[in-house]
Structure 1
Amino acid sequence: MKTEVRLVSPTVELEAEYLAFYREWMISGEDVVPWVVGKDPTDFAGMVRFLSDREKAESSIAGWVPDSTYWLVTEENAIVGAVNIRHRLTEKLFQCGGHIGYGIRPSMRRKGYATRLLALSLEKAKQLGIRKALVVCDETNIASEKTILKNGGVPDAPFTEENGNVVKRFWIEL
């Protein structure tokens, strides 16, 4: 990673940069991680408002926990990644979702951005009062596993989903 990056809350000022990020991910055909990147940005201001409202417990969708979304942005304001931090865990999140879901746009992978994104996300999680963060990845996602381990992840028992997918679980002390 050659450039400095920072986490920013979603904002309408970065609409063009976000749409380029979003389009690249959609064209790739890959699964979108975190889930918030899959949100339709056609009403961009509405999408930003939705993401902001998710931080407030009283506006949470039934059965969902409050969460915070941030974009990983370069000095030039290019969006290279996104993270969604759940403020607390439900039973399902404890098994296979974790506190932090993150992703890097396809063209910017293998440059150290994921490691930096997770490190910055852990700082945000600590500010939210999370003392021990659960971070998970699919057993087949070796790159994500390495990123989690680089950030201090301690393996816990894996979880096998109904479809047979094995989710590796890691705890990181904050």
Structure 2
Amino acid sequence: MGENVKLVKPTVELREEYLDFYDEWKASGEDMVPWVIKKDPAKFDDMIQSLHDAEIGESLPAGWVPDSTYWLMTDHNRLAGVVNIRHSLTEKLLNIGGHIGYGIRPSERRKGYATKLLSLSLQKTKELGIKKTLVVCDKWNEASKRTILNNGGKPDLDFIEEDGNVILRYWIDTEDKK
């Protein structure tokens, strides 16, 4: 990785960098993870406002919990990844979503950003008062599994979705994090 990274709140000032990130992901044809990056950025100011509203629990769909979104920025002001942190868990999130969903843009993978992004995200969950953080990934996703284990993930029971996909579930003791 070789450079410092930090989590920043989404802002309209980073519009061009976010659109570059978004367009790269769309062009890859991959599923966009975490779910918040699927939001259409055409009305960018509105998208940013919706992210801020979600953090304070405003205008949430029924059954949703407040969540915080952060962008992982490099020293060179490049948006390398996005994380979405749920402040609490519903039954569905307990099975397949967890507290933290994150993704690294395709061109920045295999550089150590995911491990750093999860580590910084765990500090945010600690700030939210979450003592044990649930992080999940699909069984086939070896890179995510390694990232979670590298951040102290302890395996829990797997969850099998209706289509047979296996979700690996890991708990991380947030109190141990600096």
Instruction: Sort the TM-score into its range (normalised by shorter chain).
Output: over 0.9
Shift in Å at residue 62 of structure 1? 1.0
SS at 1:54 equivalent: helix
RMSD: 0.6
Question: Which residue number in structure 2 is paired with residue 66 of structure 1?
Answer: 66
Percent identity for Structure 1 against Structure 2: 64
Shift in Å at residue 58 of structure 1? 4.2
Q: Tell me the distance in 2 between the aligned counterparts of 1:58 and 1:5.
A: 29
SS at 2:101 equivalent: strand
Which residue identity lines up with residue 69 of structure 2 in the other structure? Answer: T
Q: Tell me the distance in 1 between the aligned counterparts of 2:58 and 2:41.
A: 24
Superposition TM-score, scaled by structure 1 size: 0.99
SS at 1:130 equivalent: coil
Q: How many residues align?
A: 174
SS at 1:59 equivalent: coil
Question: Which residue number in structure 2 is paired with residue 171 of structure 1?
Answer: 171
Question: Which residue number in structure 1 is paired with residue 138 of structure 2?
Answer: 138
Moved over 6 A (4+): none
Within-5 A mapping of 1:8-157: 8-157=8-157
Q: Tell me the distance in 1 between the aligned counterparts of 2:101 and 2:58.
A: 22
Instruction: List gaps (5 residues or longer) in structure 2.
Output: none
Instruction: List gaps (5 residues or longer) in structure 1.
Output: none
SS at 1:124 equivalent: helix
Q: Tell me the distance in 1 between the aligned counterparts of 2:6 and 2:58.
A: 28
Superposition TM-score, scaled by structure 2 size: 0.96
Q: Tell me the distance in 2 between the aligned counterparts of 1:23 and 1:106.
A: 11
SS at 2:41 equivalent: coil
- 1:115-174 Cα deviation digits (max 9, x unpaired): 000000000011011000000000000000000000000000100001111000000001
SS at 1:43 equivalent: helix
